[in-house]
A and B are shown apart, each in its own frame.
Chain A
Amino acid sequence: MGRGDDHILLGLIDIRKVFSRRTIDEVTALDGINLDVYEQDFVTIIGSNGAGKSTLLNVIAGIYPPERGGKVCVADQDITNMPEYKHAAYAGRVYQNPSEGTAAKLTIEENMAMALLRGQSRGLRAAINKRRRELFRSALSPLGLGLEDRLSAYAATLSGGQRQSLALVMATISKPAILLLDEHIATLDPRTAETVLELTDMIVKRERMTTIMVTHNMDIALRYGNRLIMMHQGKILVNMGEEEKKKLTIADLVAAFERAAGEEFKDDSIMLSQR
Chain B
Amino acid sequence: MIQSILLSSISEGLLFGFVTIGVYITFRVLAFPDLTVDGSFVTGGSVAAVMIATGHNPFLATVAALIAGLIAGTITAALNTAFRINALLSGILMMVGLYSVNLRVMHGANIPLIRSITIFESVAHFCSIRRSSVLIIYTLVVLAAMFFLALNWFLRTEVGLALRASGDNEQMVRGLGSDTNKNVVLGCAISNGLVALAGSLVAQSQGFCDVNMGIGMIVMGLAAVIIGEGVLHPRGIAKILFACFVGTFLYRLFITIALRLGLAPGDLKLITATLVVIVLAVPYVKKRLRGEWVPPAARM
Contacts and interface: CB of A to CB of B under 8 A. Distances in A.
Contact of B172 (A101, A113, A120, A127): A101
Main secondary structure of the interface of A (DSSP, over half): loop
Given A85-B180, A104-B168, A124 B157 contact: yes
Interface in A78-124: 83-86, 88-89, 93, 95, 99-106, 110-111, 113-115, 117-120, 122-124
B145 to A, nearest CB: 20
Contacts of B177: 85-86, 88-89, 117-120
A125 interface: yes
A118 B169 contact: no
B81 interface: no
Interface of A: 61, 83-86, 88-89, 93, 95, 99-106, 110-111, 113-115, 117-120, 122-128, 170
A170 B177 CA distance: 12
A106 B168 contact: yes
B157 A127 contact: yes
Interface of B: 154, 156-162, 164-165, 168-169, 171-180
Contacts, number: 87
Given A106-B165, A106-B168, A127 B160 contact: yes
Nearest to B183: A122
Contact of B169 (A86, A88, A102, A113): A102
A104 B162 CA distance: 14
A58 to B, nearest CB: 11
Given A124-B158, A127-B160, 20 more contacts: A84-B174, A84-B175, A88-B178, A93-B175, A104-B169, A106-B168, A113-B158, A114-B165, A114-B178, A115-B176, A117-B158, A117-B178, A118-B176, A118-B177, A120-B177, A122-B158, A123-B158, A123-B159, A126-B156, A126-B158
A109 to B, nearest CB: 10
Contacts of A118: 176-177
27 contacts: A83-B179, A84-B174, A85-B177, A85-B178, A85-B180, A88-B174, A93-B175, A95-B171, A101-B175, A105-B164, A111-B165, A113-B158, A114-B161, A114-B162, A114-B165, A114-B176, A122-B158, A122-B161, A122-B162, A124-B154, A124-B159, A125-B158, A126-B156, A126-B157, A126-B158, A127-B157, A127-B161
A117 B175 CA distance: 11
Contacts of A114: 161-162, 165, 172-173, 176, 178
Cβ-closest 10 pairs across A and B: A88-B177, A122-B158, A127-B161, A103-B168, A103-B169, A85-B174, A118-B177, A105-B168, A127-B158, A124-B157
A234 B164 CA distance: 37
B172 A122 contact: no
Nearest to A91: B175
B25 to A, nearest CB: 14
A106 B169 CA distance: 10
A85 B179 contact: yes
A59 to B, nearest CB: 14
A88 B168 contact: no
Given A84-B175, A88-B175, A101-B172, A128 B156 contact: yes
Given A85-B179, A117-B176, A110 B161 contact: yes
